[in-house]
């Protein structure tokens, strides 16, 4: 009887060992079902959008002008600024790191301020934690830009992200974090206006409907601005400027976050790539930049060598990016350090499944 039990246990252990050694992959039959669903559902959506687009395109053409962009570089010293963040998935608390970096052309100068850690108890919800990280990341970006501009000669500042902030930001995170972000934006804009420095926000992954709402076309399409304009703009073209604040006022009768920005922000869309799979980007500018619009768009078009994004933004984005792999490598260094100091690594336990 004992021999029989032992034999079964060995077989079970062998089975478990074999299963653990298997390459982790999604079940093939589930993959097939997902493939078929994606192909069918996306095709249905595209067919529906394709049939409705002519009406939307025609309405936009009647309401707003498009302009061609020249290729010329009129700014000598340009700084691209981006910020990055990443969660460190500790089992004990919420923990994230944020950093911001300036990449200046033409001399490839880098500048960054001291990175920051955000730690909160798990009594904060997942949503609240990520809201706070978003607010502080954006604040870090504007504060870093201000410090750099204060210490260095710059002709043009390109922010990786918006200057026009939607109503989402008005009630997210904590009040002090929202106030810090507003103050940092106003300080940078004030400095640029005073010193005659050109500035713009480059929004790469835009899903906003500011233009649709501004033109009061929200009843005839649910599509975002950038997708519709991809079907309309030629490479090297831009739309006329419009007010995203007015768009929010017309849609929901309020723009509480943008009301606190001391300079009026205008926006326009531009297509800087010939790739049909890359939607146009949105560029946000303060009102004191309206007379420099041609110079700004010419510079962006001349340096948009990678996916229709101006080069200073591309370089800042590359060099500030904080990946999960990087965090895991640092976490791997942390374990032996804690074992040596406390005799155990359990105090730095991670959330299951986060490090793969």
- Residue-by-residue pLDDT tens, the chain, 356 positions: 444 554 555 555 665 566 556 667 888 999 999 999 999 999 999 999 999 999 999 999 999 999 999 999 999 999 999 999 999 999 999 999 999 999 999 999 999 999 999 999 999 999 999 999 999 999 999 999 999 999 999 999 999 999 999 999 999 999 999 999 999 999 999 999 999 999 999 999 889 999 999 999 999 999 999 999 999 999 999 999 999 999 999 988 889 999 999 999 999 999 999 999 999 999 999 999 999 999 999 999 999 987 899 999 999 999 999 998 999 999 889 988 888 888 888 888 888 766 65
Report the CATH fold assignment for 66-320: archaeoglobus fulgidus dsm 4304 fold (3.30.2170)
Q: Give the per-residue pLDDT at 1.
A: 45
In the chain, which ranges are E strands? Answer: 66-68, 78-87, 94-105, 109-112, 116-120, 156-160, 198-203, 237-239, 265-271, 281-286
C-alpha pair distances (Å), 3 with each of 8, 11, 12, 16, 341: 9, 13, 15, 20, 46
Q: Give the per-residue pLDDT at 189.
A: 98
Both tokens of 350, joined, read: 């991670």
Q: Give the per-residue pLDDT at 2.
A: 46
Residue with tokens 């110079």: 295
CB 151 within 8 A of CB 96: no
Q: Give the per-residue pLDDT at 18.
A: 61
Q: Give the per-residue pLDDT at 340.
A: 87
DSSP 8-state secondary structure symbol assigned to residue 163: S
C-alpha pair distances (Å), 355 with each of 92, 126, 331: 15, 18, 10
Distance CA(110)–CA(108), nearest Å, equals 6
Both tokens of 225, joined, read: 């601005």
The torsion of the CA quartet 232, 234, 240, 243, rounded to 10 degrees, works out to 60
pTM value is 0.90
Q: Give the per-residue pLDDT at 341.
A: 87
Q: How far apart are the first and last CA of the chain?
A: 42
Both tokens of 124, joined, read: 């904060």
The sign of the dihedral angle between the CA atoms of 273, 274, 276, 282 is: positive
Domain ranges of the chain: 27-63, 66-320, 324-356
Q: Give the per-residue pLDDT at 12.
A: 58
């Amino acid at each position: 009887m004992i021999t029989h039990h032992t034999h079964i246990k060995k077989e079970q252990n062998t089975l478990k060992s074999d299963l653990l050694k298997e390459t982790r992959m999604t079940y093939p039959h589930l993959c097939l079902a997902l493939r078929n669903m994606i192909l069918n559902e996306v095709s249905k959506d595209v067919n529906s959008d394709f049939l409705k687009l002519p009406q939307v395109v025609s309405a936009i053409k009647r309401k707003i002008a498009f302009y061609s962009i020249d290729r010329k570089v009129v700014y000598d010293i340009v700084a691209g600024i981006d910020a990055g963040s990443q969660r460190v998935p500790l089992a004990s608390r919420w923990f994230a790191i944020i950093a911001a970096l300036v990449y200046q052309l033409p001399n490839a100068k880098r500048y960054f301020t001291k990175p920051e850690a955000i730690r909160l108890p798990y009594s904060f919800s997942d949503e609240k934690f990520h809201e706070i990280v978003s607010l502080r990341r954006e604040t870090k970006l504007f504060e870093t830009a201000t410090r750099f501009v204060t210490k260095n000669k710059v002709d043009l500042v390109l922010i990786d992200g918006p200057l026009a902030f939607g109503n989402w930001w008005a009630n997210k995170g904590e009040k002090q974090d929202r106030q810090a972000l507003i103050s940092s934006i106003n300080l940078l804009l004030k400095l640029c206006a005073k010193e005659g420095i050109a500035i713009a926000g480059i929004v790469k992954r835009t899903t906003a409907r500011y233009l649709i709402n501004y033109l009061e076309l929200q009843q005839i399409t649910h599509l975002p601005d950038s997708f519709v304009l991809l079907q309309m703009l030629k490479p090297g073209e831009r739309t006329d400027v419009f007010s995203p604040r007015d768009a929010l006022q017309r849609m929901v009768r309020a723009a509480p976050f943008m009301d606190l920005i001391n300079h009026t922000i205008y926006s326009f869309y531009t297509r800087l790539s010939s790739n049909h799979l890359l939607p146009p980007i949105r560029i946000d500018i303060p009102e004191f930049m309206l007379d420099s619009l041609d110079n700004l768009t010419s510079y962006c078009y001349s340096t948009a060598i990678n996916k229709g994004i101006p080069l200073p933004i591309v370089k800042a984005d590359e060099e500030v990016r904080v990946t999960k792999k990087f965090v895991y490598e640092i976490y791997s260094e942390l374990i032996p350090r804690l074992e040596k100091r406390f005799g155990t690594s359990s105090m730095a336990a991670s959330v299951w499944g986060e490090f793969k």
